[in-house]
Amino acid sequence: MLAATTRKLAPLMATALLFSAVSACDSGGDGEADKAGGSDAPKLLRLAVADDAEQPDAPFARYFARRVSARSDGSVRVRVVWDAAGQSSPGYELGIAQRVRDGDFELGWMGSRAWDRMGITSFQALQAPFLVTDYGLLGRIATGAPAERMLAGLDGHGFVGLGLVPEHLRYAFGVREPLASVDDFAGARVRVRPSEATDVLMHALGAKPVHISGDDVAAAVADGKIDGAEASLGTNSREEGESHLTVNLPLFPKTLTVFAGEDAYDKLEGGQREAIREAARDTAAYAAAHPPSERALMAEFCLGGGGVSAVAATRGDLDALERAAQPVYTQLEEDPGTKALIASIRTLKASSPGHPVAVPPVQCTPRTGTESGRKRSPSTVNGTYHWQVTAAGAQAAARAVGASPIDEDIGTVGKMTLRDGKWRIGDEDPEENSGTYELMGNRLVFDWGGDILTFEFAREGNGTIRLEPLPPMNRGDAAVWAGGPCRRVGPPVRDIP
């Protein structure tokens, strides 16, 4: 078990309490204020949300409020209060817990990562490094038995756990350059959201965790006091130095805990308790069924203007980072409950389909490697090519782009036409499955609707081409395009849009 650092919550709350009067008047735009009187009025429960109404979890908080009303047939209503503990302290999430426990709010909504700072360790398995790295797995955790066991850890601490809501994966971002290797992390000052488990991970990677409030981040970046951050695509900020993304290095997920104060929960009637529990389960299921699109978030990140980049760590660097993180598991698994949860998640992961790495648009990818070498005539490789994806080829291709191999593409038969700088793959939808290509030295560079796939290639005397994918690249694309030698069967004969 990670040693819980002894802290008093009162200092964290000093500023947050100043927001009490404002919060009491703010319904978060949801119109849930109880204006009726008398014994027939709906029971009003105030939900303290850690972040503001513009964050990715805000729609889920609103959904929860609606589901409580529906599940209770209107007898219970939830009033959402955004930013309920202020943002002036790095530990603002603990402010939500304190205010719920003190009775200022009946319900709370905050990141599960913060609970270990109160000595509640049942959510730490979610912070285990490089364990939960795709949304399918995260959804199964949030809607299954692991979530119930995690939420039960709030019992006896003045809280009642209601639900675990999946949100975004958290990535490593660099301020001036990517964090993609052990050397990159060594000595780096990385802003993290306060969590005992996250701090231990940063130390294991050789970095220094930095806790700083959102109000102070931009100035710290401008002064050169921060070298990187853990953040989500969609909420990252160039002003806060989150400019250089490592696409295949999701550290862990962000999840939200929905919980009640024990005293407030005990005052509810049995049907009301069941209504908020069912609403929390509904919300977890809804969020799991509507994960974010990493591809869309990547495109938004890359179109945000100059000064951003996205790279993929090599397989060797990923292996080294995982080895460096092993002491975190040793420490986490000193707690029997956390050890059992990590094992449970690993079992789920083994039966979950992998999540492909998002491929950044061309304007986001550093071009120095792609453009190396003399530009050659694209007609050099004109021809019709056939190949079959083998197990060894798929494994080698996936590892080349820093990903684990998958089996679903083994046996796939590929067909491609290359003609004078245009390509077409497969037999379906020629406009969708075609684009342009360039030869740069010993590299074939394919443009697929703005996505760039780069391969080192070797051409044999009989025209066969062997491709080695270069990161960043989706592992599925790597396997399908480079999972076997491309045998030239003749000249290009098909039309290419």
Question: In this predicted model, what pLDDT tens digit does every residue of 83-109 receive, in sequence order?
Answer: 998 877 778 899 999 999 999 999 999
Task: For 10-350, give the CATH class.
Answer: alpha beta
Report the pLDDT value the prediction gives residue 451, as an integer from 0 to 100. 76
Split at pLDDT 50, 70, 90, the class of 355 is low
Split at pLDDT 50, 70, 90, the class of 353 is confident
Pick the more confident residue, 463 or 306: 463
Report d(CA 378, CA 368) in Å as an integer. Answer: 20
Pick the more confident residue, 382 or 407: 382
Q: Which CATH architecture has domain 367-490?
A: Beta Barrel (2.40)
Looking at the predicted structure, is the pLDDT value of residue 48 above 70?
Answer: yes
Split at pLDDT 50, 70, 90, the class of 402 is low
pLDDT digits (tens, 9 = 90+) for 406-462: 677 788 888 999 999 999 998 877 777 899 999 988 889 998 877 788 898 888 888
CA atoms within 13 A on the CB side of 380: 18
Tell me the domain boundaries of the chain: 10-350, 367-490
Report the pLDDT value the prediction gives residue 370, as an integer from 0 to 100. 37
pLDDT digits (tens, 9 = 90+) for 216-237: 888 888 888 999 999 999 888 8
pLDDT digits (tens, 9 = 90+) for 327-337: 999 999 999 99
User: Which of 30-39, 306-315, 453-462 has the lowest average pLDDT?
Assistant: 30-39
Report d(CA 56, CA 79) in Å as an integer. Answer: 19
Task: Give percent of the chain above pLDDT 70.
Answer: 87
What's the start-to-end Cα distance of the chain, in Å?
Answer: 60
> Model-level pTM?
0.70
Report the pLDDT value the prediction gives residue 362, as an integer from 0 to 100. 57
pLDDT digits (tens, 9 = 90+) for 258-307: 999 999 999 999 999 999 999 999 999 999 999 998 878 887 888 765 67
Looking at the predicted structure, is the pLDDT value of residue 484 above 80?
Answer: yes
Rounded to an integer, the average pLDDT of 173-183 is 93
